[in-house]
Amino acid sequence: MPDPIRVDPEEVRSKVDAGEALLVCGYDEDSKFRQINLEGAIPLSDFKSRLPSISRSQEIVFYCA
């Protein structure tokens, strides 16, 4: 498996705000998501349920703390 690509937080913020990227919290527990929720992010459980409808060209950024 390749190493994750690290991205600049400001670049991610502008892409999420513009609707160009989907920001996903990488933790499975909703309690963790509530603790470290970033504005505009969705929990991993929501991402998994939306996966069939997400375009393959959609940029997705995962984060964890």
**What residues make up the domain containing 46?**
9-63
Q: Please answer whether residues 44 and 22 qualify as being in contact, where contact means their C-beta atoms are separated by less than 8 angstroms.
A: no
Q: What is the DSSP letter of 56?
A: T
In a domain, 51, yes or no: yes
Which residues, including other chains, have CB under 8 Å from residue 15's CB and lie 6 or more apart? 21, 59, 61
pLDDT at residue number 48: 95
pTM as predicted: 0.86
In a domain, 4, yes or no: no
CA distance 65 to 49: 23
Where the chain has pLDDT below 70, the residues are none
How many domains, the chain?
1
In a domain, 34, yes or no: yes
pLDDT at residue number 45: 94
In a domain, 3, yes or no: no
In a domain, 28, yes or no: yes
Q: Please answer whether residues 12 and 23 qualify as being in contact, where contact means their C-beta atoms are separated by less than 8 angstroms.
A: yes
pLDDT at residue number 51: 95
Tokens 């913020």 belong to 13
